[in-house]
Every structure is written in C-alpha cells, then in structure tokens.
Copies of this chain bind each other. A is one copy, B any other.
C-alpha cells in the first residue's frame, strides 16, 4: 500500500461537487446561497438533497416553506453565484441579485438567468454535524430552450460548473467514456 493515511478533513475530499445556488423565501423575499453539497438520493422518482449549515438564513425559509429551488449556473453566472455564497442573508438582502420566477410550489424562487433550475418539495430534514440536510422530491425542472436538443438536455450547452475542495470552480472537460459501454471492454482474469 503506497498510500498515505490522512485525517478525514474536508480539503482532502477529492471528488468533484456540482456548483449550485439554492433559493427560498424568507419574510416574502427570495434569498439564495451557493452550495456544493447537493446530489441525487433517488433517480426514479427524482429526489435530491442539499446540506446547509444550520445557522444559515436560507434554512429559516426552507423550514417554513418546506420547499427550495436548486439553480444550476454556467461560467457566465459565476460572479453572482459566488457572491451569494460570500454574503450572509442575515446581514444582506440578496433578493435583487437575480431575476426569478416561481412555479407550482410558489415559494421556491427560480433564477431566470441560469440555464437550468428546479423546484423541490422537502419531505425530511436531518441534522448531520453542523448541517441541516434537506431531502426533497423534485417537482419540476425548467430548462432554457437553448439547452434542449431533440427534447433532451445537451450538457455542453448547459455548461455547468464543478467545485473542488481546493476552492477552484472548474468547467467540465472532455468525454473519456460512455457509461454502461466502456466497461464492456474489461476482461476478467478468470
């Protein structure tokens, strides 16, 4: 074993995160924060989670509304995306940073200038360490028409951003294989 054993520190976590902006309403105004801790809990039907430090302003609204939005930026949206993760909603009104619309859930502000946004309905809240983990069913996804091709999403047109623990935001790179295909080239030794 040529590996070095490390403490389970956040900055040793070497997987790519998605970069997203979560939104909700607090006191009838939208508020947002940047998150990397977002992912799928179930694909069919589609359930996701976000994790956010329990003291965050965002959490107040999610607990009240039991809804949130997840907004997927591209590099054109990066300055605003990072901004809403730097300033706290407790001190700063972020309601005018983005143009938004609401969907069926009414209380999940979806960012119009981002290529993809989704509205989510919370069904469970679990405290893990210092975070509230909000588990939710995705109610609807909204996509810029420019990102759609033959009724499906073209990921290169979405051009989402990844986030790493070295604090770099990165684009997606080149395709190195197709899932459920490239593995067929494996020849077991026996």
Contact = CB atoms under 8 A, between A and B. Distances in A.
Interface stretch (A2-10, A23-31, A61-69): A2-10
Contacts of A47: 128-129
B124 A126 contact: yes
A144 to B, nearest CB: 6
Contacts of A2: 112, 144-145
Given A4-B148, A128-B47, A186-B83, A168 B179 contact: yes
Contacts of A34: 179, 183
Contact of A40 (B51, B124, B137): B51
Given A1-B101, A142-B3, A152 B124 contact: no
A114 to B, nearest CB: 9
Given A14-B147, A173-B171, A175-B168, A183 B82 contact: yes
Contacts of A48: 13
Interface string A46-82: 1111010000000000000000001010010011111
